[in-house]
Amino acid sequence: DGGITQSPKYLFRKEGQNVTLSCEQNLNHDAMYWYRQDPGQGLRLIYYSQIVNDFQKGDIAEGYSVSREKKESFPLTVTSAQKNPTAFYLCASSLTRDRGENNEQFFGPGTRLTVL
Amino acid sequence: QQQVKQSPQSLIVQKGGISIINCAYENTAFDYFPWYQQFPGKGPALLIAIRPDVSEKKEGRFTISFNKSAKQFSLHIMDSQPGDSATYFCAASSDYGTASKLTFGTGTRLQVTL
C-alpha cells in the first residue's frame, strides 16, 4: 500500500525543546517537501529536497532543520529557535520534472505539534 | 509577500448549487495551477490541475477556468454535495531545478447545506 506516513499524529513538547517529525514515503519519489499550516494562512513551504543528500530552504525555514539521508525519509526538526512552533505540519512528495510532466504532490496525514 | 490570493475565505452553498472559488497570482513564471481539497485533520489531496496553455479543464463536477492575461483562475463545483464540504486551496508553482515549489492560497472553507 503506497503512500506517505507521518508520525506521530499528535505531538506535545515543552517550550525550548527540539523535536523531530518523521516522514516516510514508499512512492519512489525523488522530491520531498515540508509545509506548515496555520489557520487562515494556507500552507507555507519550510524545506524541500530534490534528491538524497540535497535540500533547499523554503519560505519559512528559520528555526527548522532537515536531513535527507535516504530517498524514503525526510525528517524535520523543529528547534528551540522557532518562535511559534505550534502548528499542523505536512510532508509531501512528488516526482521530479525530469521524470515526467506530473507535478502532483502527495501529502501525508500531518502531525499536529503543540508546544506547551 | 503573498503571491497567490484566494477568495472567498468561506462559502456556504445549498446542495445542488454551484460553488465558485477564485484565485489570482502575481508571478508570471508560474506554470502549473493545482487545486487541493482538504478534510479536517487530513492532508490535502489533489483535486484537479491546469497548465496555462488551456483556458478550461473539466473533471466530473469540477472545472478550472484559467485567464492568463488577467492572471486569475477559478474552481467551479457543479451540483455541490454535502460530501464536498471541505477546505479548498489553490496553488501555483514554477520550476526550481526539478522540484515543484507550490505557493498556496489561504484556503476557502466550503460548507454545502441540505
pLDDT at A90 over 80: yes
Report the alpha-carbon distance of residue B88 to residue B31 in Å, rounded: 20
Cell of B61: 463536477
Q: Which of A43, A94, A96 sits opposite B89 (nearest CB)?
A: A43
Please, which residues bridge with residue A5 across strands?
Answer: A24
Q: If you average pLDDT over residues A41-65, what whole number do you get? A: 93
pLDDT per position as a tens digit, B21-78? 999 999 888 888 999 999 998 999 999 999 888 999 999 999 999 999 999 999 999 9
Which of A43, A55, A94, A101 to probe by mutation at the B interface, max B CB count within 10 Å?
A: A43
Q: If you average pLDDT over residues A71-76, what whole number do you get? A: 97
Contact B100 A58 (CB under 8 A): no
Cβ neighbours of A101 (radius 10 Å): 8
Q: Which of A44, A73, A37 is nearest to A61 (CA)?
A: A44
User: What is the pLDDT at residue B31?
Assistant: 85
Based on C-alpha coordinates, what's the Rg of chain A?
Answer: 14
Q: Which residues on chain B are in Cβ contact (under 8 Å) with A105?
A: 34, 46, 100, 102
- Give the residue with greater pLDDT, B4 vs A39: B4
Task: Give me the total of CB pairs closer than 8 Å, taking one residue from chain A and one from chain B.
Answer: 71
Name the band, by pLDDT with cuts 50, 70 and 90, for residue A96. Answer: confident
Q: Which residues on chain B are in Cβ contact (under 8 Å) with A45?
A: 101-103
Q: If you average pLDDT over residues A19-34, what whole number do you get? A: 94
User: What is the pLDDT at residue B53?
Assistant: 87
| Cα distance between the two ends of chain A | 35
- Give the residue with greater pLDDT, A100 vs B28: B28
Q: Which of A31, A42, A108 sits opposite B99 (nearest CB)?
A: A31
Contact B100 A94 (CB under 8 A): yes
User: What is the pLDDT at residue B91?
Assistant: 94
Q: Which of A40, A50, A106 sits opposite B106 (nearest CB)?
A: A40
HSE-CB at A3 with a 13 A cutoff on CA atoms is: 9
Average pLDDT, chain A: 91
Q: How far is CA B47 from the centre of its chain?
A: 8
Q: Outline where DSSP puts E strands in chain B.
A: 4-7, 10-14, 19-25, 33-38, 45-50, 56-59, 62-67, 72-77, 86-96, 99-104, 108-113
A6-10, A76-80, A99-103, A107-111: least confident range: A99-103
Report the alpha-carbon distance of residue B42 to residue A111 in Å, rounded: 9
